[in-house]
Amino acid sequence: MLKSENLILKKPCKEDYQILRKVKPCEEFYLMLGSDASESIYMNDEKFDASFSELLNKEHHWYVFKGLEVIGVAFLHSIDAQDKRARFALGIYDKKNWNNGYGKELTQAILKYAFDQLKLHKVDLRVLAYNKRAIACYEKCGFVQEGVLRENAFINNEWHDDIIMSILCHEFQGK
Protein backbone atom coordinates (compact mmCIF):
# COMPACT_ATOMS: atom_id res chain seq x y z
CA MET A 1 0.00 0.00 0.00
CA LEU A 2 1.20 3.50 -0.85
CA LYS A 3 -0.13 6.67 0.71
CA SER A 4 -0.03 10.27 -0.38
CA GLU A 5 -1.55 13.34 1.22
CA ASN A 6 -5.14 12.67 0.09
CA LEU A 7 -5.04 9.23 -1.49
CA ILE A 8 -4.29 5.60 -0.80
CA LEU A 9 -2.90 3.34 -3.53
CA LYS A 10 -3.93 -0.18 -2.66
CA LYS A 11 -3.18 -3.48 -4.31
CA PRO A 12 -6.49 -5.21 -4.98
CA CYS A 13 -7.50 -8.04 -2.69
CA LYS A 14 -10.47 -10.41 -2.79
CA GLU A 15 -12.29 -8.33 -0.18
CA ASP A 16 -12.33 -5.35 -2.57
CA TYR A 17 -14.21 -7.19 -5.31
CA GLN A 18 -17.68 -5.72 -4.62
CA ILE A 19 -16.35 -2.16 -4.27
CA LEU A 20 -14.33 -2.38 -7.47
CA ARG A 21 -17.12 -4.05 -9.43
CA LYS A 22 -19.28 -0.95 -8.91
CA VAL A 23 -16.75 1.43 -10.51
CA LYS A 24 -18.10 3.14 -13.64
CA PRO A 25 -15.46 5.24 -15.42
CA CYS A 26 -16.73 8.15 -17.52
CA GLU A 27 -16.47 7.94 -21.32
CA GLU A 28 -13.70 10.56 -21.47
CA PHE A 29 -11.58 8.25 -19.28
CA TYR A 30 -11.53 5.71 -22.11
CA LEU A 31 -10.82 8.35 -24.72
CA MET A 32 -7.72 9.46 -22.79
CA LEU A 33 -6.55 5.83 -22.75
CA GLY A 34 -7.18 5.38 -26.44
CA SER A 35 -10.07 2.95 -26.18
CA ASP A 36 -13.82 3.17 -25.79
CA ALA A 37 -16.28 2.20 -23.11
CA SER A 38 -17.48 -0.86 -25.04
CA GLU A 39 -14.05 -2.45 -24.41
CA SER A 40 -14.25 -1.82 -20.67
CA ILE A 41 -13.69 -4.60 -18.16
CA TYR A 42 -16.69 -3.12 -16.34
CA MET A 43 -19.07 -3.98 -19.19
CA ASN A 44 -19.72 -7.53 -18.05
CA ASP A 45 -18.97 -9.84 -15.15
CA GLU A 46 -16.84 -12.23 -17.19
CA LYS A 47 -14.44 -9.51 -18.37
CA PHE A 48 -14.24 -7.98 -14.92
CA ASP A 49 -13.64 -11.32 -13.18
CA ALA A 50 -10.79 -12.20 -15.57
CA SER A 51 -9.17 -8.79 -15.16
CA PHE A 52 -9.61 -8.79 -11.38
CA SER A 53 -8.07 -12.26 -11.05
CA GLU A 54 -5.11 -11.15 -13.14
CA LEU A 55 -4.59 -8.01 -11.05
CA LEU A 56 -4.52 -10.00 -7.81
CA ASN A 57 -1.23 -11.49 -8.98
CA LYS A 58 0.41 -8.25 -10.20
CA GLU A 59 2.80 -6.69 -7.75
CA HIS A 60 2.86 -3.05 -8.86
CA HIS A 61 -0.79 -2.41 -9.76
CA TRP A 62 -2.91 -0.29 -7.45
CA TYR A 63 -6.44 0.97 -7.21
CA VAL A 64 -6.60 4.57 -6.02
CA PHE A 65 -8.87 5.32 -3.09
CA LYS A 66 -10.02 8.72 -1.84
CA GLY A 67 -11.57 7.70 1.45
CA LEU A 68 -13.78 4.72 0.60
CA GLU A 69 -14.27 5.78 -3.03
CA VAL A 70 -12.22 4.19 -5.80
CA ILE A 71 -11.20 7.05 -8.09
CA GLY A 72 -8.64 5.44 -10.36
CA VAL A 73 -5.92 2.96 -11.12
CA ALA A 74 -2.14 3.27 -11.37
CA PHE A 75 0.67 0.89 -12.17
CA LEU A 76 4.28 0.30 -12.98
CA HIS A 77 4.80 -2.37 -15.61
CA SER A 78 7.48 -3.69 -17.95
CA ILE A 79 9.87 -3.50 -15.02
CA ASP A 80 13.38 -4.34 -16.14
CA ALA A 81 15.51 -5.12 -13.09
CA GLN A 82 18.75 -5.26 -15.07
CA ASP A 83 18.30 -1.87 -16.75
CA LYS A 84 16.50 -0.47 -13.69
CA ARG A 85 13.56 0.99 -15.57
CA ALA A 86 9.79 0.68 -15.74
CA ARG A 87 6.79 2.11 -17.56
CA PHE A 88 4.18 4.09 -15.64
CA ALA A 89 0.47 4.58 -16.26
CA LEU A 90 -2.45 5.99 -14.35
CA GLY A 91 -6.06 6.85 -14.95
CA ILE A 92 -8.61 8.75 -12.90
CA TYR A 93 -12.07 7.41 -13.62
CA ASP A 94 -14.39 10.38 -13.32
CA LYS A 95 -14.19 14.04 -14.36
CA LYS A 96 -15.30 15.14 -10.88
CA ASN A 97 -11.83 14.09 -9.69
CA TRP A 98 -9.94 15.80 -12.53
CA ASN A 99 -8.19 19.16 -12.27
CA ASN A 100 -7.65 18.99 -8.53
CA GLY A 101 -4.06 17.74 -8.27
CA TYR A 102 -4.73 14.04 -7.78
CA GLY A 103 -2.82 13.08 -10.94
CA LYS A 104 0.24 14.97 -9.74
CA GLU A 105 -0.11 13.55 -6.23
CA LEU A 106 -0.36 9.99 -7.57
CA THR A 107 2.51 10.43 -9.99
CA GLN A 108 4.80 11.78 -7.29
CA ALA A 109 3.91 8.97 -4.86
CA ILE A 110 4.62 6.30 -7.46
CA LEU A 111 7.85 7.94 -8.60
CA LYS A 112 9.01 8.10 -4.97
CA TYR A 113 8.26 4.39 -4.64
CA ALA A 114 9.93 3.57 -7.97
CA PHE A 115 13.14 5.43 -7.22
CA ASP A 116 13.42 5.01 -3.42
CA GLN A 117 12.09 1.48 -2.96
CA LEU A 118 12.62 -0.26 -6.30
CA LYS A 119 15.88 1.64 -6.94
CA LEU A 120 14.97 2.28 -10.56
CA HIS A 121 17.03 4.60 -12.76
CA LYS A 122 14.30 5.59 -15.22
CA VAL A 123 10.51 5.65 -15.45
CA ASP A 124 8.83 6.31 -18.78
CA LEU A 125 5.31 6.54 -20.11
CA ARG A 126 3.24 6.92 -23.26
CA VAL A 127 0.48 9.48 -23.46
CA LEU A 128 -1.79 10.41 -26.33
CA ALA A 129 -0.84 13.81 -27.75
CA TYR A 130 -4.40 15.10 -27.33
CA ASN A 131 -4.33 14.39 -23.58
CA LYS A 132 -2.98 17.87 -22.77
CA ARG A 133 -4.03 17.73 -19.12
CA ALA A 134 -1.99 14.56 -18.50
CA ILE A 135 1.03 15.93 -20.38
CA ALA A 136 0.96 19.08 -18.24
CA CYS A 137 0.73 16.95 -15.09
CA TYR A 138 3.68 14.79 -16.09
CA GLU A 139 5.76 17.85 -16.95
CA LYS A 140 5.01 19.35 -13.50
CA CYS A 141 6.31 16.09 -12.01
CA GLY A 142 9.58 16.36 -13.96
CA PHE A 143 8.95 14.15 -16.99
CA VAL A 144 10.49 15.32 -20.25
CA GLN A 145 9.44 14.45 -23.76
CA GLU A 146 11.73 11.94 -25.46
CA GLY A 147 9.90 11.57 -28.73
CA VAL A 148 6.73 11.10 -30.69
CA LEU A 149 5.31 7.91 -32.14
CA ARG A 150 3.56 9.45 -35.10
CA GLU A 151 0.04 8.30 -35.88
CA ASN A 152 0.53 5.39 -33.52
CA ALA A 153 -3.01 5.03 -32.18
CA PHE A 154 -6.16 4.55 -34.26
CA ILE A 155 -9.02 5.96 -32.20
CA ASN A 156 -12.52 6.76 -33.41
CA ASN A 157 -11.45 6.26 -37.02
CA GLU A 158 -8.55 8.73 -36.76
CA TRP A 159 -4.81 8.37 -36.25
CA HIS A 160 -3.24 10.05 -33.21
CA ASP A 161 0.32 10.53 -31.99
CA ASP A 162 1.71 9.01 -28.81
CA ILE A 163 4.16 11.11 -26.81
CA ILE A 164 6.98 9.26 -25.04
CA MET A 165 8.07 10.91 -21.79
CA SER A 166 10.51 9.90 -19.08
CA ILE A 167 12.12 10.95 -15.84
CA LEU A 168 15.45 9.83 -14.40
CA CYS A 169 16.09 9.15 -10.73
CA HIS A 170 18.48 12.10 -10.29
CA GLU A 171 15.94 14.42 -11.96
CA PHE A 172 13.23 13.35 -9.53
CA GLN A 173 15.50 13.63 -6.49
CA GLY A 174 16.66 17.07 -7.63
CA LYS A 175 13.10 18.47 -7.56
The domain of 57 spans 2-173
Residues with Cβ within 8 Å of residue 156, at least 6 apart in sequence? 31, 36
We report the CATH number of the domain holding residue 22 as 3.40.630.30
Total domains in the chain come to 1
120-164: per-residue pLDDT in tens? 999 999 999 999 999 999 999 999 999 999 999 988 889 999 999
pLDDT at 40 over 60: no
pLDDT of residue 39: 60
Distance of alpha carbon 146 from the chain centroid: 19
Q: Are 127 and 165 in contact (CB under 8 A)?
A: yes
d(Cα 148, Cα 36) in Å, to the nearest integer?
23
Q: List the single range of 11-15, 95-99, 104-108 with lowest mean pLDDT.
A: 11-15
52-74: average pLDDT? 86
Left, alpha or beta for 109 (phi > 0: left; psi -120 to 50: alpha)?
alpha
d(Cα 83, Cα 102) in Å, to the nearest integer?
29
Report pTM: 0.87
